[in-house]
Amino acid sequence: MAKPSQPDPRPEEETVRYEIEDGVAWVYFNRPDKRNCMSPKLNRQMKRVLDELEFRDDVQVLVLTGEGSAWSAGMDLLEYFRAAEQEGIHKTRQHQREAYGWWERLRWYEKATVGMINGWCFGGAYGPLFACDLAFCSDDAQFGLSEINWAILPGGGASKVAAELMGFRDAMYHAMMGENLTGKQAAEKGLVNESLPADHLRARVQEVADVLKKKDSHALRATKWAVRRVREMTYDNAEEYLIRAQEALNDFGGWETRREATKQFLDEKTFKPGLGAFDKSKLAKD
Ligand code: COA
């Protein structure tokens, strides 16, 4: 008989790793032996890492990916669920706060974020999936709301994510049937932007990150927050919010930035907004 699973003895700091390369922070779920499922230790460490990277000048884009064969196999059934059940409701709440806390931080991150889904993506992993602004996966990735297969509902926001990103019938089928989607199917249904052959995935994400890096960082932040905010607003409220958000952006040096970009287009004829970003290196400071 196979040996029962034991708690992961690795220290908290090792559950997440990152490297920064030329303005891009590549952040890894780092429990490959456990298919990168999210334990309380990982959730605490991920929050620390996100906090550390968010305001660094050498990070413009954050990519969240997984070490090994998984992006993340969702919540850790042993260390997140069973351990909390044994200790009672307060432990459960603590574990939820630690997990939901970093997903929320990521949803409203200062920097552009890209999910690079390299393999398994289950259940609770839909929280960080939705939190990433953009998402690219490999064709051989597998996406599933497996909760129904072990008799719980897709919590931790997962039902909401399916209902937000997919059509109603697709979300229902996905949640009720507990069948997996391939990367390509996930892209067709709107869970990710694109699905690519595994050996092209990193290059495509790098390409996207390189484009994002050229944008004005304040305008990019305002834009991604605007798209998230307006989803839940009426048209009139969204219109009003966008006026206010642009005015707030102006206070972040937006007038000077816009003036420079407009000058490059109208006067210097060195770029066309329809074909790419203006040259922000000509600004005194980004
Ligand atoms: N919680 C706890 N442990 C998990 C886990 C999870 N969500 N996902 C994987 N693991 C552990 C396994 O128990 C195993 O641990 P062990 O070495 O102590 O035995 C190890 O990770 C490797 O998993 P294994 O099942 O052998 O790998 P696999 O590649 O054959 O299968 C999955 C991968 C993802 C299909 C399978 O592990 C799985 O179904 N995981 C649960 C997914 C899930 O339902 N997540 C939703 C939670 S909300």
Q: Identify which of 1, 34, 36, 181 to mutate to test ligand 1's pocket (most ligand atoms within 8 A of the CB).
A: 34
Q: Ligand 1 pocket test: which of 6, 8, 37 has the largest number of ligand atoms within 8 Å of its C-beta?
A: 37
Domain end marker among 195, 213, 231? 213
Whether 180 and 270 map to the same domain: the answer is: no
Would you state the pLDDT for residue 98? 98
- 181 and 247 in a single domain? The answer is no
Do 203 and 225 sit in the same domain of this protein?
no
Q: How many domains is the chain built from?
A: 2
Q: Is 231 in the same domain as 177?
A: no
Residues 70, 31 share a domain: yes
Q: Looking at the structure, do residues 109 and 207 belong to the same domain, yes or no?
A: yes
Q: Are 215 and 207 in contact (CB under 8 A)?
A: no
**Could you give the CA distance from residue 181 to residue 128 in angstroms, rounded to a whole number?**
18
User: Rounded to the nearest whole angstrom, what is the distance from the C-alpha of residue 40 to the centroid of ligand 1?
Assistant: 16
Atom nearest to 79 CA in ligand 1: 2
| Residue 256 domain boundaries | 217-285
**The dihedral of CA 141, 30, 203, 226: what is its sign?**
positive
The encoded tokens of residue 224 equal 């991604």
Per run of 10 residues, the mean pLDDT along the chain (length 286 residues) is: 90 98 98 98 98 97 98 98 93 97 98 98 98 98 97 97 98 98 98 98 98 96 98 97 96 89 95 94 73
Question: Are 237 and 150 in a shared domain?
Answer: no
Same-domain check for residues 185 and 203: yes
Residue 45 is predicted with a pLDDT of 98
Domain end among 154, 186, 213? 213
* Rounded (10°) angle between helices 158-165 and 168-177: 140
Pocket residues: Cβ below 6 A from ligand 1: 5, 33-35, 37, 73-78, 120, 122-124, 146-147
